[in-house]
C-alpha cells in the first residue's frame, strides 16, 4: 500500500519526561505488589487452615541466615539510595562505587540463599521428596510456599541485578548524569521493591514460630 519509500526520519520521537517515567515505574511496581499479593493471599489462607503445622515447619528454617540476608538487603537499599544522592551531587565515582556495592550485596544475598536451599535439599526437604510427602499437609504447603515465594523473590533479585548492571554501564558511559538520572532512580525504586517484599517474607517464614 502506497509504497514510495521516502522514509523521513522524525527526530527525537521519544521525548524526555522524568515525572512520566517515574509515574510509569510506580504503576509497574504496583503490578509487582499485586503479583506477590496473590502469593500472600495463598499464604494467608493456608496459614489460617494449618496454623500449627506452619508453626512447626517454620522452626526448621534457619533464622540466622534469614536475619543476615535481611540486613544485607536493607543495607543494599541504603547504598542504592546513596548512589542517587551521589550522582545528584555530581560525584560520578562515588555513585559507581555505591552501585557496585549494591550489586555485591545482591550477590551475597543469593549466595546465602544458595547455601540455605542446599541445606534444605540435603535434609530431603524439597517439593515431591519422600521426606516431605511423609509429613502433614500443612508442612508440605509451608515448604511449597517457602520455595515458591522465596524463589520468585530470588528471581526478582536476579532481575534487579541485571537492571542495576545496565545502569552502572549507563553511568560509566555518561548516559546517566547529574541532570538526567531518572533511570537510576527507577532502578533504585525497583530495588527497594525487592527489599520491601523480603521485609514481608522474612517474618512470615522465619520469625512467626
Partner 1 sequence: MMGQTAVAVKADNFYHQSTNKYSGILSWLLTIDHKRIGLMYMVSIIFFFLVGVIVGVLMRLELMAPGKTIVDAQTYNALFTLHGVIMIFLFIIPGLPAIFGNFFLPIQIGARDVAFPRLNLLSYYLYVIGAVLALLSLVLPGGPIDTGWTFYIPYSVRSTTNISLPLLAAFILGFSSILTGLNFITTVHRLRAPGMGFFKMPLFVWATYATAWVQIIATPVVGITILLVIIERLFGVGIFDPALGGDPILFQHMFWIYSHPAVYIMILPAMGVVSEIIPTFSRRTIFGYTAIAMSSLAIAFVGYLVWAHHMFTSGMSDTARWIFSLLTFLVALPSGVKVFNWVATMYKGSIDPQPPFLWVMAFIFLFSIGGLTGLVLGALATDVHVHDTYFVVAHFHFVMFGGTGTIFFAALHYWFPKMFGRMYNVKFARISVATFFIGFMLLYFPKFIMGYMGMPRRYYDYLPQFANLQMISTIGSWILSGTIFFIVGYLLHALFKGPKAPSNPWGGVTLEWHIQSPPIMENFKTIPTITHEPYDFSQLKEMKNA
Residues forming contacts to partner 1 in the complex (CB under 8 A) are 1-2, 4-10, 13-15, 17, 19-21, 23-24, 27-28, 30-32, 34-39, 41-42, 45-46, 49-50, 127-128, 133, 136-138, 140-141, 144-145, 147-148, 152
**Identity of the residue, 10 or 59, whose beta carbon is nearer to partner 1 in the bound complex:** 10
**Identity of the residue, 102 or 120, whose beta carbon is nearer to partner 1 in the bound complex:** 120
At its nearest, how many Å lie between partner 1 and the CB of residue 190? 14
**Identity of the residue, 11 or 93, whose beta carbon is nearer to partner 1 in the bound complex:** 11
Q: Are 153 and 197 in contact (CB under 8 A)?
A: yes
Residue 149 CA to residue 38 CA, distance in Å, equals 11
Q: Which residue has the cell 532512580?
A: 185
- CA 166 remoteness from chain centre: 16
Find residue 180's DSSP bridge partners. Answer: 177
- CA 101 remoteness from chain centre: 16
Mention every residue, 6+ apart, whose C-beta is less than 8 A from residue 95. 83, 84, 86, 87, 171, 184
At its nearest, how many Å lie between partner 1 and the CB of residue 39? 6
**Identity of the residue, 41 or 208, whose beta carbon is nearer to partner 1 in the bound complex:** 41
The three three-digit cell numbers of residue 77, written as one number: 537499599
At its nearest, how many Å lie between partner 1 and the CB of residue 175? 15
At its nearest, how many Å lie between partner 1 and the CB of residue 108? 27
Amino acid at each position: 500500500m502506497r509504497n514510495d519509500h521516502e522514509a523521513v526520519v522524525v527526530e527525537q520521537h521519544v521525548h524526555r519526561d522524568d515525572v512520566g517515567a517515574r509515574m510509569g515505574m510506580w504503576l509497574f511496581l504496583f503490578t509487582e505488589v499485586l503479583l506477590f499479593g496473590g502469593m500472600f493471599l495463598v499464604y494467608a489462607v493456608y496459614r489460617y487452615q494449618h496454623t500449627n503445622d506452619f508453626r512447626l515447619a517454620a522452626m526448621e528454617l534457619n533464622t540466622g541466615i534469614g536475619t543476615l540476608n535481611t540486613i544485607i538487603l536493607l543495607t543494599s537499599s541504603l547504598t542504592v539510595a546513596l548512589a542517587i544522592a551521589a550522582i545528584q551531587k555530581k560525584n560520578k565515582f562515588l555513585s559507581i562505587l555505591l552501585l557496585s556495592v549494591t550489586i555485591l550485596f545482591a550477590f551475597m544475598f543469593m549466595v546465602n540463599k544458595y547455601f540455605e536451599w542446599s541445606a534444605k535439599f540435603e535434609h530431603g526437604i524439597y517439593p515431591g521428596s519422600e521426606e516431605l510427602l511423609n509429613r502433614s499437609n500443612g508442612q508440605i504447603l509451608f515448604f511449597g510456599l517457602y520455595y515458591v515465594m522465596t524463589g520468585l523473590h530470588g528471581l526478582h533479585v536476579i532481575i534487579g541485578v541485571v537492571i542495576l548492571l545496565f545502569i552502572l554501564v549507563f553511568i560509566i558511559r555518561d548516559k546517566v548524569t547529574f541532570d538526567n538520572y531518572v533511570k537510576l532512580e527507577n532502578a533504585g525504586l525497583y530495588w527497594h521493591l525487592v527489599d520491601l517484599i523480603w521485609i514481608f517474607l522474612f517474618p512470615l517464614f522465619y520469625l512467626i514460630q
